[in-house]
Amino acid sequence: MLTSKLGGTTKQPFVPRGQGALFLEFLMPVNPQDDPYYRLRHSLAHVMAQAVLEIFPEGKVAIGPPIEHGFYYDFDLPRSLTPDDLGEIEARMRRIISGNYPFIYRVVSAEEARQLFKDQPYKLELIEGLAQGADEYGELHPDANGGTVISTYRQDTFEDLCRGPHLEHTGQIDPEAFKLMSIAGAYWRGNEKNPQLQRIYGTAWNNKAELDQYLWRLEEAKKRDHRRLGKELDLFSISDEVGPGLILWHPKGAMIRVIAEDFARQAHLNAGYEWVFSPHIGRAHLWETSGHLDFYKENMYSPMDIEGEAYYAKPMNCPFHIQIYKTHLRSYRDLPRRYAEYGTVYRYEMSGVLHGLTRVRGFTQDDAHIFCRPDQVEEEIGRALEFSLYVLRAFGLNEFTAYLSTRPEKYVGRPEDWDRATAALERAVEAHALPYQRDEGGGAFYGPKIDLKVHDALGREWQLSTIQFDFNLPERFGLEYIGEDGQPHRPYMVHRALMGSMERFFGVLIEHFAGAFPLWLAPVQATLIPITDKQLAYAEQVRQQLVAAGLRVEIDDSRDRMQGKIRRAQLQKVPYMLIIGAKEQEAGAVAVRMRSGEDLGPMPLAEFVARAVQEVQTRA
């Protein structure tokens, strides 16, 4: 299925662990029956193509489908478009719309179609596909034997190869409710070996209010952009000097990471995991055995030479954990073993795909590998999923969709193991009443998996957790345990990551909270604001008491006036501002102002401490 490819559920041999694609739903073609905007957006794509061809009569058109929020059309034009061109194209589109041209449908034979589009090479290629029963994306539909029905739609002077449906006439389009958004390069049929076309993206809505609402949402998303907030709140940076895709965690960002890691570290201990550490590099032979040098080399950095021996920076942690497993002969009574590590891995990503914290070249996974007996699989999967939900919910992420990927045509391992594992995954998902989608045949060749995507405060989906079987590595490394029968058996192995990578997880948290972290995560929980220097000594006393209570506080002893200090703390999204003037000093109190702007007035210091400690403990 086309959408499954775009959905980031393509087959992947080794565990992506949170470093898979973001879910770019914006780019997914939509189905006519699902989407009330389909006709509008599809029609606008045609109108845009007409407008572009008016400017470039020699231009070649490719395809132009509706997508979520809008539409695009791909062109092959004699020159590069500039953002200035969009204005003229929009103006021409409005003129076409005002003509109230009907969209006229007709069925043509393949021969007529070839004649009609004889100057349009991309259309001719599509027609050949259609004549052989493919759809416009080149996907074959076996039920369409003898060829797909070929049809066209025409409005005004522009006739396009199209199966529709469309609006009745252009007058049904609100000329104030669409906007051309951007120009991008796009390969013909999505293949980088094909010519690169120019794609124009547009957004379209039923009326101007809807358009404005959409544009407003884009602005809101911009304000939450973790790259922007990372700078404004001094959380992290990426230095050209260090290199792209490599994250520098500043003290405030690192504080949040440390809190998150500490929380999850304790949670893992409670859940029966054992912590391990492993090095960042390993000999080439290890990666040959694991198969990474066969299957994952594209993502690995060049080896370094150490005394004539090649070593690779690790792209995954699994081979190291396997080595730890192999240091003993394991009894069936020793299983399951659950090895957890915040493991930092390095993967080559093409420069064009790097993005803030969510797509990087070096990152730390909250990784774990579970080695267990076949009869323990069911319970281990259930526990892993339960645990994943527990951890994510602790961070205020409460909405999830699960994706279950099953056995592909090419696979390793025994079918009965696959069936058992897949059934275990399915039961686990159903037991938690999670909404889920099955991707039949979408699993990796080495095992089925569940991916969890979380929905953030703006409803956007992010892939973080993954729980994945591996029938490959135990085989390659010859893993064994001694069973009750005194014979060696092969253990099951499960990879899992909950937060995914700390980098991406942090990025999602920043955007989810728009930088206003809940008290337990806030790097600075309270700013003490003395009104005059006369209160500095008292402020220091207060600070020490708050620190003793386990709170993270700063004194703003700058020369600014109180208003300026409040403003600064507010912009830094500090949860509490504690104003200290003569009155508070006198009373042994602090005047509490919250980040929301609410003024709680003066309260005894002990009362504030109790309140804050309670808030931290409940992770409210």
Catalytic residue among 449, 460, 496, 512: 449
Select the residue interacting with RNA from 155, 198, 203, 527 (CB under 7 A): 198
DSSP letter for each residue of 582-617 = HHHHHHTEEEEEETTS-EEEEEEHHHHHHHHHHHHH
What does DSSP say about strands 304-306 and 337-346: parallel, antiparallel, or unpaired?
Answer: unpaired
192 near RNA, judged by CB under 7 A: yes
Please report, as a single letter, which amino acid is at residue 531: I
Nearer of residues 330 and 407 to RNA, judged by Cβ: 407
Nearer of residues 291 and 336 to RNA, judged by Cβ: 291
Nearer of residues 247 and 256 to RNA, judged by Cβ: 247
Asked whether the bond before 408 is cis by omega within 30 degrees of 0, the reply is no
Q: Are 226 and 253 in contact (CB under 8 A)?
A: no
With CB under 7 A, what is the number of residues at the site for RNA?
A: 80
Paired with 453 in beta bridges are 401, 463
Burial degree of 410 (CB within 10 A; 0-12, 13-18, 19+):
exposed
Q: What's the start-to-end Cα distance of the chain, in Å?
A: 42
Q: CA-CA distance, 144 to 139, in Å (whole number)?
A: 11
Which of 207, 199, 217, 491 is CA-nearest to residue 330? 491
21 near RNA, judged by CB under 7 A: yes
Catalytic residue among 76, 318, 463, 556: 318
449 a catalytic residue: yes
Pattern 438-477, RNA, x by CB under 7 A: ------xx--------------------------------
Minimum gap (Å) between residue 503 Cβ and RNA:
13
Minimum gap (Å) between residue 75 Cβ and RNA:
11
Which of 273, 44, 39 is CA-nearest to residue 166? 39
Task: Give residues 250-289 in contact with RNA (rule: CB under 7 A).
Answer: none
Nearer of residues 109 and 532 to RNA, judged by Cβ: 532
353 near RNA, judged by CB under 7 A: yes
Minimum gap (Å) between residue 83 Cβ and RNA:
6
Q: Are 288 and 553 in contact (CB under 8 A)?
A: no
Minimum gap (Å) between residue 223 Cβ and RNA:
12
Contact partners, residue 493, CB within 8 Å, separation at least 6: 322, 369, 370, 371, 469, 470, 471, 473, 474, 479
Select the residue interacting with RNA from 1, 3, 24, 544 (CB under 7 A): 24
Task: Give residues 130-189 in contact with RNA (rule: CB under 7 A).
Answer: 182-187
Task: Give residues 331-350 in contact with RNA (rule: CB under 7 A).
Answer: 349-350
Which of 105, 94, 104 is CA-nearest to residue 47? 94
Q: Which stretch binds RNA (CB under 7 A): 158-166, 196-204, 269-277, 538-546?
A: 196-204
354 near RNA, judged by CB under 7 A: yes
Angstrom distances, CA of residue 87 to CA of 51, 81, 97 = 11, 11, 15
Pattern 290-329, RNA, x by CB under 7 A: -----xx-xx------------------------------
Identify the three-state secondary structure at position 400.
strand
Task: Give residues 365-384 in contact with RNA (rule: CB under 7 A).
Answer: none
Minimum gap (Å) between residue 409 Cβ and RNA:
10
Nearer of residues 333 and 414 to RNA, judged by Cβ: 414
Identify the three-state secondary structure at position 76.
strand
Minimum gap (Å) between residue 193 Cβ and RNA:
8
Pattern 234-253, RNA, x by CB under 7 A: ----x-x--xxx--------
Tell me phi and psi for residue 461, to 5 degrees.
-95, 140
207 near RNA, judged by CB under 7 A: no
190 near RNA, judged by CB under 7 A: yes
Select the residue interacting with RNA from 110, 516, 562, 613 (CB under 7 A): 562
Burial degree of 480 (CB within 10 A; 0-12, 13-18, 19+):
middle
Catalytic residue among 74, 76, 367, 417: 367
Q: Read off the tokens for 34.
A: 């699902």
318 a catalytic residue: yes
Rg of the Cα atoms in the chain: 29
534 near RNA, judged by CB under 7 A: yes
567 near RNA, judged by CB under 7 A: yes
Q: Are 312 and 300 in contact (CB under 8 A)?
A: yes
Catalytic residue among 39, 268, 369, 373: 369
Task: Give residues 408-437 in contact with RNA (rule: CB under 7 A).
Answer: 410
Select the residue interacting with RNA from 531, 551, 574, 605 (CB under 7 A): 531
What does DSSP say about strands 337-346 and 274-275: parallel, antiparallel, or unpaired?
Answer: parallel
Q: Which stretch binds RNA (CB under 7 A): 473-481, 538-546, 580-588, 610-618?
A: 580-588
Q: Which residues are designated catalytic? A: 318, 347, 365, 367, 369, 449, 495
